[in-house]
Amino acid sequence: MRIATWNVNSVGARLPRLLEWLESSGPDVICLQELKCSAEAFPSAEVKALGYESLVNGDGRWNGVAVLSRVGLADTVIGLPEGPAYDGGQESRAAAATCGGVRVWSVYVPNGREVGHPHYDYKLQWLEALRRTARHEVSGDLPFAILGDYNIAPTDEDVYDRSVFEGSTHVTEPERAALKALRQEGLSDVMPRALKYDHPYTYWDYRQLCFPKNRGMRIDLVYGNAPFAAAVKDSYVDREARKGKGASDHAPVVVDLDI
């Protein structure tokens, strides 16, 4: 089984690329983030033509997540249970489904904006709610993973230059401590360090030629429980999908499982 996660940075703007990638890469399940569309506006018919069912959590603003599956969608959940509200409501940042015997959550962790901003506190509260959710999901024999854009680089090795990010979000100790607490619920980072590139980043800013210069960050993560991690046979970042005009600023992360 092939499972992927991809922050598409607007599914409307990226639809031709998404459809092409689905056909060429053939994931059985893909978790999408930053849809920037409502659930009603999601291109369900277009992905259905390729054999995918859609579970969408979107409100038409800058967030939004989805799970696309060609191996079924069961026990679905829209939204993060007991997740915190921001600016008067709960944002569209989480969705879950069981697909072909694998339980997946697609998550788009809040950015945080800047240290000390209310959105930064909201980010930490959101991660705590995600940890509580993981505690209920992680036990048992069912392979389970939380995939998505975590907006956190787990270590200094996951950014091209730690000094550039000094004092910024994505690398602060409270954020990384929240990731550690999540892993301590029985999850592990299933992406091996030694992939096809010395630095398997997943995000590169559009500005200042960051992608050609490989000035990136690894913030799109796959955290799986023991049955999921044991089934992983390969994983990679599809840098080719980041190239060219009209690309998302994130690349897909792909995990192949032997199930």
Which residues are annotated binding-site positions for Mg(2+)? 7, 34, 149, 151, 249-250
Task: Determine contact, residues 37/58, Cβ cutoff 8 Å.
Answer: yes
Q: Which amino acids are annotated as binding site, given as ranges? A: 7, 34, 149, 151, 249-250
Task: Determine contact, residues 144/138, Cβ cutoff 8 Å.
Answer: yes
Using alpha carbons only, give the angle 248, 251, 109 rounded to the nearest 5 degrees: 85
59: number of Cβ within 10 Å: 15
Task: Determine contact, residues 207/249, Cβ cutoff 8 Å.
Answer: no
169: nearest Cα among 207, 119, 211: 119
Task: Determine contact, residues 253/32, Cβ cutoff 8 Å.
Answer: no
125: number of Cβ within 10 Å: 16
As annotated, the active-site residues are 108, 149, 250
